[in-house]
Amino acid sequence: MSDALLAIRGLTKAYPGVVANSDVSFDIRPSSVHALLGENGAGKSTLVKTIYGLVRPDAGTMTLAGQPYAPPEPRAARAAGVAMVFQHFSLFDALSVAENIALGMEDPPPLRDLSARIAQVSRDYGLPLDPNRIVGDLSAGERQRVEIIRCLLQSPRLLIMDEPTSVLTPQEVEILFRTLRKLREEGLAILYISHKLEEIRVLCEEATILRGGRVVATCDPQRTSARRMAEMMVGGTLKTPARAAHPGGDTVLDVQGLSAPSPRPHGTALRGVTFSVARGEVLGIGGVAGNGQDELLLALSGEMRTAPGMVRLKGELVGSLRPSARRARGLLCAPEERMGHAAAPDMTLTENAFLSGRLRERLARRGFVNWTAARGFAERIIRDFDVRTPGPSAAARSLSGGNLQKFVIGREILQRPEVLIVNQPTWGVDASAAAAIRQALLDLASQGAAVVVVSQDLDELMEISDRFAALNEGRLSPARPARGLTVEEIGLMLGGAHGMEVAHAH
Amino acid sequence: MIILEKRPNPSRAWALATPVLAVLATMIVGGLLFAMLGKDPVLTIRTIFWDPLFGPFGSYTRPQLLIKAGPLILIATGLSFGFRAGIWNIGAEGQYILGALTGAAAGLALYPSESRLIFPLMVAAGALGGMAWALIPALLKVRFGTNEILVSLMLVYVATNLLAYAALGPLQNPEGMGFPGSRNLSQWPSSANLELLTGTGLHWGVVAAGVAVVGAYVLLARHAFGFAVRLAGQAPRAAAFAGVSPSRLVLACMAISGGLAGLAGVFEVTGPAGQIGIDFGVGYGFTAIIVAFLGRLHPLGILLAGLLMALTYIGGEMAQTQLGLPGAAVQLFQGMLLFFLLAMDVLTQFRLRWKGASPVIVATAKPVEGAR
């Protein structure tokens, strides 16, 4: 008790209609990496925001190193020695690393001194980073290092990390873990939030598991199996996705030498991407975000058009066709960004069902929408994919990330695609929903559809893909059978650790 | 300290209440303004809002209500499509003038023959004229990426000059003894757009406005085009994913708003205005922008907003003539209405929360989490 750095006692926070945290108590010891586990909506982020001063609890107390601790805002939390690395970075692409870090400081030193300190911290903790580079040119892993170094410059006592490895290559994860272990040796406490249970088993020595806003278990992750932890999170047993048949069909989607500039600034151009998928097959495309995934999806969905011959569907040249024409021919997509791309946040689920289902579900006649049919389609998605929502009249933005993802994937699967392309199908989705989505993708493949899964989650790709290819700086590696690939081989296909050469330069 | 908190769902109740609140706030602040100008605020507000309908000159001013509201509603309904989709046609005034010019020209070309077909021909020519004028900024935007706000606005001034040229040149009345202006179209039976029911102000333009409101409602609620318009405005990337072509949407929305503005112009020139004159453009095209937003870009809202705006126009004129209120004060009053509406709009998306003053010193530098 007395050796705790941060002691949390009876924290409770309720929002209208939902109790996010209910009587949460646990201790974080100095010199330890403490895992916080739970499904989406289990109350992890509310808890972390409370610790970081973004949310004020309704009841309960916190003590930091023996002193009462109730930060009214993040500034107070930082002053008390609590730092946080968010899952989504808040960096300005057009500014340099040092300038970005200076922006976050209360009283920044002259830029040259700051650069020197950044270089110093970067060397001390094995986080290769050049303070003078422009953030827009950095990989996701390097951006994360900017955020971590920004925190370390405040000499924190407690570092909170929210899903830090979701954007990293295996090699970058190694670098991060080495840094975290070093910080732990120096006495820092780290609160580590992740869905990746194997990582937690390697890194953490204590885990607190939340479910429905309550602490349901604490365990020693090094002595608990990943499966056991997942079951404690879910409160039931987990099913491993299984598939009925294996592929052997004819090629339906054939992409040849797909090259295109990115439509966005700081985007990645596609360079000669070539692959093909057969009926009944799942092709996994791995890679760290920002290596052309979004551009590949746009080129396949038809939102970005290319030369006709670059994309062939069942032998037909479709590279210059618009999204609706491709949909009519059986090529369907589910983009990564749920809010604002795959779905319109302020529209109802019925309207969002119409959004992509109009043609194949015949939801309009002579341009006039059949809202009854659209509503029926939305209800079917909600039922078949276990979307938790009051009903089809709910606005898309009122759904949790996992539920909206189930809706978006279900909407495309129920339209009986011949080729389905999904980007990050389980990003930010909890374990049981992720398993359901993967199972649905496998079922679709065994019914004879070709499925392309673009994901950063290598475990996921290894679990469901027949073949695996890696996207790196807009180039796609040749696809290899997924079975038997080692983590090292995959890491090399992904292009290794970004920015290692910078570290040696210093 | 008051803080704004984003609502999980936009409040339906506030969406309906804010226009009413905006009108009330305008009345209060407007009343203060009038009081400072030395006028009796209650009497002034009554003159503007009450007298046009029920005052001693009601039988003259009541028909004016529909005559003024008709073009406003017609133009605003057209504009609402583009505004919903994020396409900003600011040049409806120019399209309105062009509609009047092409409509009048089509009719005058056939003067003095008598036919029932001349009026429909003029209406069609007016709609096409307005549409063509609106398609100039649309095509430039689609082809060269120009800004439709600037181009459509600048074309208003081109249209004003075309109007002056036509009134003094090709469309000038040969029997007008050199005065600027065309023949009087409302006195030529083939082109006259007369009151359909005596004493109501109801003419074909008002009928067209009613049809436009119903049509817009059906399009937005039941048609895939309306869905595409709403989707493109709310989530442009989702619209691209759904297969909505941004270029086609720009062309369609500009064509609709231009066409309806042109219609308003031709109904005006054949009825209430009567002729092409240098002073034909009185700003309906600009006021319609206010009407569109006051009506929350919703067809029924626009109907009500058009009537309200017409009321303040007529009432404002009465306040000028009867109470000697300066014209600028009336315009200020109308501008206030839009200002308050937009300000109150915050309440539909956010809720106000009172927060006790924090003991911590006020931040001098914002933490970077907020700087997205």
pLDDT confidence of residue A240: 62
What confidence tier does A500 reach under pLDDT thresholds 50, 70, 90? Answer: very low
Residue A235 structure tokens: 């409160």
Q: Which residues of B touch A54 (CB under 8 A)?
A: 369
| Distance to chain B for A324, nearest Cα, Å | 5
* Dist CA B63 CA B71 (whole Å): 14
Q: Which residues of A touch B245 (CB under 8 A)?
A: 322
Q: Is the pLDDT of residue A437 over 50?
A: yes
List A residues 292-321 in contact with B (Cβ-Cβ < 8 A): 301-303
* Dist CA A177 CA A15 (whole Å): 35
Omega within 30 of 0 (cis) for the link into B112: yes
Give chain B's mean pLDDT: 87
- Residue of chain B minimizing CA distance to A101: B368
Q: Is the pLDDT of residue B358 over 70?
A: no
Same domain, A229 and A307: no
Q: Are B181 and B172 in contact (CB under 8 A)?
A: yes
pLDDT confidence of residue B8: 62
B367 → closest Cβ in A104, A344, A346: A104
Arithmetic mean of pLDDT, A254-273: 88
Same domain, A358 and A482: yes
Does the interface predicted TM-score (ipTM) exceed 0.90?
no
Arithmetic mean of pLDDT, B325-343: 85
- In angstroms, how far apart are the furthest CA atoms of chain B? 84
Domain that holds residue A321: 251-501
What confidence tier does A503 reach under pLDDT thresholds 50, 70, 90? Answer: very low
Sequence letter at residue A171: Q
| Distance to chain B for A34, nearest Cα, Å | 24
Q: Is the pLDDT of residue B367 over 90?
A: no
Mutate which: B6, B9, B222, B227, vs A, most A CBs within 10 A: B227
pLDDT confidence of residue B97: 97
| Distance to chain B for A57, nearest Cα, Å | 15
| Distance to chain A for B282, nearest Cα, Å | 38
pLDDT confidence of residue B58: 82
Greatest mean pLDDT among A23-27, B3-7, B175-179 lies in A23-27
B368 → closest Cβ in A90, A324, A341: A90
A369 → closest Cβ in B223, B238, B369: B223
DSSP A359-393: TTTT-EETTEE-HHHHHHHHHHHHHHTT--SS-TT
Residue B149 structure tokens: 């706000």
Arithmetic mean of pLDDT, A373-385: 95
Q: Is the pLDDT of residue A496 over 60?
A: no
Same domain, A230 and A267: no
pLDDT confidence of residue A506: 38
Q: Is the pLDDT of residue B151 over 90?
A: yes
Complete edge-to-edge strand list for the sheet that includes strand A6-15: A18-28, A6-15, A59-64, A67-68
- Check CB contact of B372 with chain A, cutoff 8 Å: yes
Can you list the positions of beta strands (E) in A76-233?
A: 82-85, 158-162, 189-193, 206-211, 214-219
Q: Is the pLDDT of residue B261 over 80?
A: yes
pLDDT confidence of residue A242: 64
* Helix, strand and coil percent figures for chain B, each rounded to 5: 70, 5, 30
Residue B282 structure tokens: 């009185």
A92-115: buried (b, 16+ CB within 10 Å) or exposed (e) per residue?
eeeebbbbbbbbbbeebeeeeebb
Q: Is the pLDDT of residue B368 over 70?
A: no
- Check CB contact of B24 with chain A, cutoff 8 Å: no
Q: Are B21 and B12 in contact (CB under 8 A)?
A: no
Residue A278 lies in a domain: yes
- A291 or B98: which leads in pLDDT: B98
Cβ pair A345:B235 closer than 8 A? yes
- Check CB contact of B247 with chain A, cutoff 8 Å: no
Please identify, among A206, A234, A262, the residue that sits at the C-terminal boundary of a domain: A234
pLDDT confidence of residue A290: 76
Please identify, among A234, A265, A280, the residue that sits at the C-terminal boundary of a domain: A234
Arithmetic mean of pLDDT, A458-473: 87
Residue A244 lies in a domain: no
Arithmetic mean of pLDDT, B288-307: 91
Cβ pair A340:B223 closer than 8 A? no
Same domain, A180 and A78: yes
pLDDT digits (tens, 9 = 90+) for B128-146: 999 999 999 999 999 999 9
Cβ pair B243:A105 closer than 8 A? no
pLDDT confidence of residue B357: 45
Q: Is the pLDDT of residue A305 over 80?
A: yes
pLDDT confidence of residue B370: 34
Mutate which: A303, A355, A365, A404, vs B, most B CBs within 10 A: A355
What domain count does chain A have?
Answer: 2
Arithmetic mean of pLDDT, A464-486: 87
Same domain, A152 and A281: no
- Check CB contact of B3 with chain A, cutoff 8 Å: no
Cβ pair B243:A323 closer than 8 A? yes
Residue A463 lies in a domain: yes
- Check CB contact of A76 with chain B, cutoff 8 Å: yes
Q: Are B97 and B265 in contact (CB under 8 A)?
A: yes
Q: Which residues of B touch A355 (CB under 8 A)?
A: 231, 238, 241-242
pLDDT confidence of residue B193: 84
Cβ pair B241:A301 closer than 8 A? yes
List B residues 205-244 in contact with A (Cβ-Cβ < 8 A): 222-225, 227, 230-231, 234-235, 237-238, 240-243
* Helix, strand and coil percent figures for chain A, each rounded to 5: 35, 25, 40
Please identify, among A174, A203, A234, the residue that sits at the C-terminal boundary of a domain: A234
Q: Is the pLDDT of residue B363 over 50?
A: no
Cβ pair A303:B241 closer than 8 A? yes
Residue A11 lies in a domain: yes
pLDDT confidence of residue A237: 67
Cβ pair B223:A368 closer than 8 A? yes
Across the A:B interface, residue pairs with CB atoms under 8 Å apart total 96
Greatest mean pLDDT among A136-140, A228-232, B65-69 lies in B65-69
Residue A242 lies in a domain: no
Other beta carbons within 10 angstroms of residue B53's beta carbon come to 13
* Dist CA B161 CA B168 (whole Å): 11
Same domain, A170 and A296: no
What confidence tier does A241 reach under pLDDT thresholds 50, 70, 90? Answer: low
- Residue of chain A minimizing CA distance to B237: A341
Among the ranges given (A236-240, A450-454, A468-472), the one the predictor scored with the smallest mean pLDDT: A236-240
Residue A300 lies in a domain: yes
Arithmetic mean of pLDDT, A110-132: 87
Q: Are B163 and B99 in contact (CB under 8 A)?
A: no
| Distance to chain A for B210, nearest Cα, Å | 21
Residue A384 lies in a domain: yes
List A residues 395-424 in contact with B (Cβ-Cβ < 8 A): 395, 397-398
pLDDT digits (tens, 9 = 90+) for A163-222: 887 777 777 888 889 989 999 999 999 999 887 778 888 899 999 998 888 898 899 988
Arithmetic mean of pLDDT, A310-317: 94
Other beta carbons within 10 angstroms of residue B353's beta carbon come to 10
Same domain, A274 and A215: no
Greatest mean pLDDT among A142-156, B224-238, B327-341 lies in B224-238
pLDDT confidence of residue B355: 61
- Residue of chain A minimizing CA distance to B233: A344
- Check CB contact of B10 with chain A, cutoff 8 Å: yes
| Distance to chain A for B225, nearest Cα, Å | 7
pLDDT confidence of residue B39: 87
Percent of chain A residues topping a pLDDT of 70: 93
Q: Is the pLDDT of residue B371 over 60?
A: no
| Distance to chain B for A136, nearest Cα, Å | 14
Q: Is the pLDDT of residue B248 over 90?
A: yes
Arithmetic mean of pLDDT, A92-106: 86
A347 → closest Cβ in B234, B365, B368: B234
pLDDT confidence of residue A495: 63
Same domain, A295 and A348: yes
A343 → closest Cβ in B224, B238, B365: B238
pLDDT confidence of residue A238: 60
pLDDT digits (tens, 9 = 90+) for B209-246: 999 999 999 999 999 999 999 999 999 999 999 999 99
Give chain A's mean pLDDT: 86
CATH of the domain at A306: 3.40.50.300
- Check CB contact of B56 with chain A, cutoff 8 Å: no
pLDDT digits (tens, 9 = 90+) for A15-24: 776 778 889 9
Same domain, A222 and A265: no
B371 → closest Cβ in A90, A302, A327: A90
Residue spans of the domains in chain B: they are: 74-285
pLDDT confidence of residue A284: 94
pLDDT digits (tens, 9 = 90+) for A57-67: 999 999 998 88
- Nearest Cα to A83, choosing from A108, A104, A62, A112? A104
Same domain, A264 and A230: no
Same domain, A52 and A131: yes
Q: Which residues of B touch A347 (CB under 8 A)?
A: 230-231, 234-235
